């Protein structure tokens, strides 16, 4: 399962994501991971959540984030949910065909490994490709 929260800056995406992260941390049996672009959520999310600051790992492309997620899971098969805040900033991209391909890859990964994804993107939802709209 892949869910996308999309909206322009200041529309409450991160606040909504924090609520979802904390709910997952208290309700899910598996490990919850949150990847954020910059270190901003440290004091807002439950201490059981593995918080990863993407800037520290120089994730700068769609290919790099696929490899990063694969590596996370290879090191911990107990991950049940991965949250990604401000994904387009992490990969230095925009809501285009490459973003759609990444979401499709996440959906396949989810189906094979049982990991759910929730992704926040700072972008006007009207800019989403037709393929991305199924995740909104």
Per-residue pLDDT of the chain (136 residues; tens, 9 = 90+): 999 999 998 899 989 999 999 999 999 999 999 999 999 888 999 999 999 999 999 998 999 999 999 999 999 999 999 999 999 999 998 878 999 999 999 999 999 999 999 999 999 999 999 999 999 9
Distance between CA atoms of residues 104 and 120, nearest Å: 15
pLDDT of residue 89: 94
Residues 6+ apart with CB under 8 A from 45: 18, 21, 22, 25, 34, 51
Distance between CA atoms of residues 8 and 85, nearest Å: 13
pLDDT of residue 94: 83
Pair 105, 70: CB distance under 8 Å:
no
pLDDT of residue 42: 87
Q: pTM value?
A: 0.95
CATH number, domain with residue 122: 3.40.50.300
Distance between CA atoms of residues 25 and 19, nearest Å: 10
The boundaries of the domain holding residue 98 are 2-135
The structural domain count of the chain equals 1
Q: Which phi-psi region, left, alpha or beta, contains residue 9 (left: φ > 0; alpha: ψ -120 to 50)? A: beta
Query: Which three-class secondary structure state does DSSP give residue 20?
Result: helix
pLDDT of residue 93: 85
Q: Can you read off the two tokens belonging to residue 75?
A: 């090191």
pLDDT of residue 119: 97
């Amino acid at each position: 399962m892949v869910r996308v929260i999309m909206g322009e800056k200041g529309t409450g995406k991160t606040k909504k994501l924090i609520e979802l992260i904390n709910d997952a941390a208290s309700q899910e049996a598996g490990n919850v991971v949150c990847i954020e672009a910059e270190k901003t959520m440290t004091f807002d999310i439950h201490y059981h959540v593995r918080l990863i600051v993407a800037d520290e790992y120089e994730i700068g492309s769609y290919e790099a984030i696929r490899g990063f997620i694969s590596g996370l899971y290879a090191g911990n098969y107990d991950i049940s949910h991965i949250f990604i805040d401000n994904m387009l900033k992490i990969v230095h991209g925009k809501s285009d065909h490459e973003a759609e391909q990444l979401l499709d890859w996440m959906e396949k990964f989810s189906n094979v490994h049982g990991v759910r994804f929730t992704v926040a993107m700072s972008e006007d939802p009207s800019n989403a490709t037709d393929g991305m709209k199924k995740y909104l």
